[in-house]
Amino acid sequence: MRHFITLIVPSDGVVALDAVMTRHGRRAQPMDNPSVREVLLDGERQYLTTAGPCDCGTVLGVTPVAAEELENDLAREAARLTRKGWSAAKIARALDDRRRADARPKGRDGPDSLDLWTEVLAGLRDGLKLPYAGLLVHAYRGGLEDEIISATRRAVGRGIPHPEGLAALVEDEVTIFPLR
């Protein structure tokens, strides 16, 4: 499975769109997935934004691990380390390190950030005067244009700041951000 992010916009101006995306280290390559097309409005187009081999590690569409699930994982890890003969103090330090690592914002070393996508949305608004833009994250198992995706569509409210809307983006959901 490989994650890819696609952009949904009411524009077929590939050259201008790609120029804006390139300024932010991304791309805008036209693509047409029939499953996604089902949730698009007339005049909207889908573009692959990936500049590298994939978008694995993206901050978009990340579901945070529930605290209870994390504690269960840590308990299993403590039991495993005890069986290996680790001391209680060494296990406590290892688990504290894991808690701190899990608490850090994800995507810091990934292909993007919430700040990057906020800048992309501003660039689409300012550079192309688009009224809105959508983003879709999907973990592909097959071809980008022929994989069947159960995509849904949701619009972010006008009063919600873009970073907050981006943080709430869900995988397999075309999330529409108002730009004006």
Q: Which residue has the higher pLDDT, 102 or 45?
A: 45
Check which CATH number belongs to the domain holding 160 and give it.
3.30.70
Grade residue 13 by pLDDT with cuts at 50, 70 and 90. very high
- No. of H helices and E strands in the chain? 6, 6
Indicate whether 14 pLDDT > 70: yes
What are the φ and ψ backbone dihedral angles of 91, each rounded to 5 degrees? -65, -45
The answer to whether residues 119 and 174 belong to one domain is yes
* CA 114/CA 147 separation, integer angstroms: 27
Question: Is 71 found in the same domain as 127?
Answer: no
Q: Which two tokens stand for residue 106?
A: 């994800």
Into how many domains does the chain fold? Answer: 2
Please tell me whether residues 42 and 128 are part of one structural domain.
yes
Q: Examine the domain organization and report whether 34 and 86 are in the same domain.
A: no
Q: What tens digit of pLDDT does each residue of 66-114 get?
A: 567 777 888 888 999 999 999 999 998 988 887 766 655 554 456 789 9
Residue recorded with tokens 């592909």: 140
| Confidence grade of residue 63 (pLDDT, cut at 50, 70, 90) | low
What domain range is 84 assigned to? 67-103
